[in-house]
Amino acid sequence: MNRVCKQVSIESPATVGMSKEYVFQYDVMVPDVPALGARVKVMCAGACYRQRSASVSSTSSTCSMGSDSGCTTSASHRGLRDSSFYPGYEVAGVVESIGEEVDPSCGIKVGDHVIVYPFDECPPGYAEYMSVPEIEFLVKIPDNMSLSVAAMLPSGALWALNTVQKAESVVRRISEEKGPEGMCHILVVGTGGLALWALRLARFFFSEKQHRVHIAVACLRDEGFCLAQESGKVDVIQWNEELYERILIERTKDACHGQVDVVIDFGTTSRSLNRSIQCLHKGGVVFLGHETADRLLPKFSRKAVEYGITIEPVETGSVQQLKELVDLVHSGKVKPPPHSVFPAEEASDVINKLCKSEIPGRAILQFHSSAQ
């Protein structure tokens, strides 16, 4: 085997700025095979940017999800605010080698198609080959499952699944409080990859309560109408950022026949969170990605108490949930959102288009065309 392979590293454009380079491609050494893990030939990877650690400067942390506190919020960064482009690590590939200390009965063997659970020490970029330190971080997928679809699952879809499952208990409580004739209203903000997964998963998990759960989608861009409506019968609300807050809040309440009970928002800015709080019933809950919540909770904790609502951060999810997600998608119970596949060499152009919301659904980078 050639001891050198290609790697693509993606920084958040909201951190480094659109005028600078944020996609880097260079040669790296093929990693060794960990004794308790495996080496994976990367076939497809979701176009995510590098997750920032807590040690990064406050400016980087604040800007990483398209913040409105000092970072640009121009149209060129809209993708960072509508869940089109987010931090994570999404890899689907083929097991190339297995560590010498791995238990032979682990269920993973050379040649298996797998996805990689985003473990703490993920590499700083996507390379043609990656080492996975523990075999437990590999989730086997069926051979007839599309690798480009599978690559959407480890971060975005898993994050959405964990959020919807956490929302289940809130929906159950509100349904009990409102009685057999009551309606629980859920608002999903955005039409990027994260929001589209949340919408599909919510429709599946709340299907038994379909007559008592109403789902609406708040779009941050015009193209979102088609994407949201493609997911099924949902009410779509346009959150045009140029309009006054009062108009947007009234528009949302009209579409939801009053205040909402649950808001799911992954790419929140201060403005949209403030809007969501004012659209919520007392006792309602806003679910946010944990990285965004770390930034916004100090600002809004007092307002949450004042309005009698809860802001709940959501982590990515577990390995077991990732296995459940594979079963849901492979069985056809949950249909994946639209996605487009691009050669890894075009990563810079792909990320630029994502930041301008020019790619509908998800973007997947392809490193190899054949598993052989």
Here the CATH number for the domain that contains residue 67 is 3.90.180.10
Q: How far apart (Å, rounded) are the C-alpha atoms in residues 242 and 35?
A: 56
Same domain for 125 and 199, yes or no, is no
Same domain for 165 and 305, yes or no, is yes
Q: How far apart (Å, rounded) are the C-alpha atoms in residues 318 and 331?
A: 20
Higher pLDDT, residue 67 or 221: 221
Here the CATH number for the domain that contains residue 268 is 3.40.50.720
Answer yes or no: is pLDDT of 372 > 70. no
Domain count within the chain:
2
User: Over the stretch 273-285, which tens digit does the pLDDT of each residue have?
Assistant: 999 999 999 999 9
Same domain for 59 and 205, yes or no, is no
Q: How far apart (Å, rounded) are the C-alpha atoms in residues 200 and 231?
A: 7
Same domain for 85 and 173, yes or no, is no
Same domain for 207 and 194, yes or no, is yes
Could you tell me if residue 332 is inside a domain?
no
Could you tell me if residue 123 is inside a domain?
yes
Same domain for 209 and 346, yes or no, is no
**By mean pLDDT, which of 37-41, 190-194, 274-278, 283-287 is the weakest?**
190-194
Same domain for 148 and 207, yes or no, is no
State residue 14's pLDDT score. 58
For 301, the domain range is: 156-314
**Rounded percentage of the chain residues whose pLDDT exceeds 90:** 52
Same domain for 160 and 284, yes or no, is yes
Higher pLDDT, residue 318 or 190: 318
Same domain for 271 and 173, yes or no, is yes
Higher pLDDT, residue 293 or 101: 101
User: Over the stretch 286-301, which tens digit does the pLDDT of each residue have?
Assistant: 999 887 888 899 999 9
Same domain for 216 and 248, yes or no, is yes
Same domain for 246 and 205, yes or no, is yes
Rounded to an integer, the average pLDDT of 134-162 is 96
At which of 273, 299, 314 does a domain end? 314
Could you tell me if residue 331 is inside a domain?
no
State residue 333's pLDDT score. 95
E strands, the chain, are 4-10, 23-29, 38-46, 91-98, 113-116, 126-127, 129-132, 138-140, 184-189, 213-219, 235-238, 260-265, 280-289, 310-314, 339-343, 362-366
